[in-house]
Amino acid sequence: MTDEIRKITEKLIRRRALTVAEYERLLTERDAELYEILKAEAIRLRHRIYGNKIFIRGLIEISSFCKNDCFYCGIRRSNSNCERYRLTPEEILSCCENGYTLGFRTFVLQGGEDAFFGDDLLCELIKTIKEKYPDCAVTLSLGERSEDSYKRLFEAGADRYLLRHETADNGHYARLHPENMSFENRKNCLEVLKKTGYQTGCGMMVGSPFQTYKALAQDLKFIEEFQPDMCGIGPFISHKYTPFKSEKNGDAELTCFLLALVRIIKPDILLPATTALGTIAENGRKQAIEASANVVMPNLSPLDVRSKYSLYDNKLHSGSESADNLNSLKKAMKEIGYEIVCDRGDIIKQKEN
Ligand code: 5AD
């Protein structure tokens, strides 16, 4: 670790902000010593705000239909091998019921961009969930929608919205998505979500094709400026029925390095240990938590649809990724000194980050 990297690190810890060029240097010149320093600081910050608590979310994958054709994603429109399904409102409510009994107090409704889930249907569904479970938070992860739609869903009771920005580099964004999609538009949706009142989450894949350290540095700058409440960071994993089928997977260690950086940029942020990380690395979740992740999102979807919601190859949905095995998750967390808590797990906003 050079003196200059040490200086940049001190500046980051002091100011929670760097230039894109400085972020890029931390990424390109990173070594074990830097990683340890960042992890220690990230853990200190998380501990100050959240103690040893880990929040859980029950993930309900409501539809594998998607109108988009993102080059990396297994449920892209052009994948004719993808088995499409959509859950009925009754099925979704029964997932919530199961989740509530297990101890979940946040339900994440995630799906492809499926016009079947229009505003009327979703508003009804959200209202029903909130009436039945007033002590629960509802998180939506349903892609890009209109400002009016985001407003209506918020007014119906949705609390949070996850919409990964995927990459904050326009050129890179264009190499991952078809022409009708843009980072500008994605960014605009995120601004609207935040303005509407949602706890808002962005995020990116690590090691996606054509990604450079510069692009990742731009992601960090974007996070620093946007100040999201949540940020999903997981490695890219190739899917056999996509144009990126032969591309190599992202790196677990770089993913965790980024988790630590993001915690230092925004100390109160909610950072999930992603399923993708658990999929590529044996002890991915543990590594993520030791890099300051504080959220896990076990799968609450009905068993028979889980394999159909295949965003990437070998996506985990059983074992401790399954909501039914909450006890084994609790035990695993306890063994490394953490406690799973069964409440909504809202962000604890810090005035002075
Ligand atoms: N590898 C890793 N993550 C992926 N996602 C989609 N496809 C892949 C893939 N091949 C992520 C995207 C999306 C989220 C729901 O899943 O970041 O926002």
Number of other residues whose CB lies within 10 A of the CB of residue 150: 24
Distance 183 CA to ligand 1 centre (A): 16
pLDDT computed for residue 351 by the predictor: 84
Share of the chain above pLDDT 70, in %: 99
Sign of CA dihedral 176, 178, 182, 188: negative
Query: What number does the ligand 1 atom closest to the CA of 163 have?
Result: 18
Distance 36 CA to ligand 1 centre (A): 28
Q: What would the 3-class secondary structure string for 177-222 be?
A: CCCCCCHHHHHHHHHHHHHHCCEEEEEEEECCCCCCHHHHHHHHHH
Distance 98 CA to ligand 1 centre (A): 26
pLDDT computed for residue 327 by the predictor: 93
For residue 318, pLDDT over 90 is answered with no
What is the pLDDT averaged over residues 122-145?
98
Q: Ligand 1, from 177, 205, 274: best to mutate by most atoms within 8 Å of Cβ?
A: 205
Query: What number does the ligand 1 atom closest to the CA of 162 have?
Result: 18
CATH fold label, 21-341:
TIM Barrel (3.20.20)
What is the C-alpha separation between 330 and 298, in angstroms, rounded?
Answer: 12
Ligand 1 binding pocket (C-beta < 6 A) is 72-73, 164, 166, 205, 234, 236-237, 239, 276, 311-312
Query: What number does the ligand 1 atom closest to the CA of 249 have?
Result: 1
Lowest mean pLDDT: which of 55-69, 129-143, 301-315? 301-315
For residue 243, pLDDT over 90 is answered with yes
Residue type, 43: I
Average pLDDT over the chain, rounded to whole?
97
For residue 321, pLDDT over 90 is answered with no
For residue 224, pLDDT over 80 is answered with yes
330 backbone dihedrals φ, ψ, rounded to 5°: -60, -45
Which residue is closest in CA terms to ligand 1's atom 2? 236
Which residue is closest in CA terms to ligand 1's atom 13? 164
What is the C-alpha separation between 53 and 348, in angstroms, rounded?
Answer: 12
For residue 231, pLDDT over 80 is answered with yes
Q: How many CA atoms lie within 13 A of 232 on its CB side?
A: 17
pLDDT computed for residue 323 by the predictor: 85
Which of the 8 DSSP states describes residue 139?
E
Residue type, 341: V
What is the C-alpha separation between 94 and 64, in angstroms, rounded?
Answer: 18
Among 59, 54, 57, 56, residue whose Cα is nearest residue 294: 54
Phi/psi class of residue 103: alpha, beta or left (left: φ > 0; alpha: ψ in -120 to 50)?
Answer: left
Question: Which residues, in sequence order, are CB contacts of 27 under 8 Å at separation 6+?
Answer: 213, 216, 217, 254, 257
* 109: three-class secondary structure by DSSP: strand
Distance 9 CA to ligand 1 centre (A): 30
Query: What number does the ligand 1 atom closest to the CA of 164 have?
Result: 18
Element (H, E) at 171: helix 170-176
Query: What number does the ligand 1 atom closest to the CA of 166 have?
Result: 17
pLDDT digits (tens, 9 = 90+) for 90-115: 999 999 999 999 999 999 999 999 99
Global pTM? Answer: 0.97
Distance 48 CA to ligand 1 centre (A): 31
For residue 352, pLDDT over 80 is answered with no
Query: What number does the ligand 1 atom closest to the CA of 276 have?
Result: 2
Phi/psi class of residue 140: alpha, beta or left (left: φ > 0; alpha: ψ in -120 to 50)?
Answer: beta
Q: Ligand 1, from 79, 311, 315, 316: best to mutate by most atoms within 8 Å of Cβ?
A: 311
What is the C-alpha separation between 228 and 219, in angstroms, rounded?
Answer: 12
pLDDT computed for residue 324 by the predictor: 86
Distance 265 CA to ligand 1 centre (A): 23
Query: What number does the ligand 1 atom closest to the CA of 73 have?
Result: 7
pLDDT computed for residue 320 by the predictor: 80
- Which two three-digit tokens encode residue 63? 């539809």
57 backbone dihedrals φ, ψ, rounded to 5°: -130, 140
Location of structure tokens 């993708």: 276
pLDDT digits (tens, 9 = 90+) for 168-204: 999 999 999 999 999 999 999 999 999 999 999 999 9
For residue 337, pLDDT over 80 is answered with yes
321 backbone dihedrals φ, ψ, rounded to 5°: -80, -10
Distance 236 CA to ligand 1 centre (A): 7
- Which two three-digit tokens encode residue 201? 């989450």
Distance 150 CA to ligand 1 centre (A): 22
Distance 72 CA to ligand 1 centre (A): 7
For residue 353, pLDDT over 80 is answered with no
Query: What number does the ligand 1 atom closest to the CA of 244 have?
Result: 10
- Which two three-digit tokens encode residue 38? 């960042």
Distance 64 CA to ligand 1 centre (A): 13
Domain residue spans in the chain? 21-341
Query: Parallel, antiparallel, or unpaired for β 53-56 and 199-206?
Result: unpaired
* 107: three-class secondary structure by DSSP: strand
pLDDT digits (tens, 9 = 90+) for 262-314: 999 999 999 999 999 999 999 999 999 999 999 999 999 999 999 999 999 99
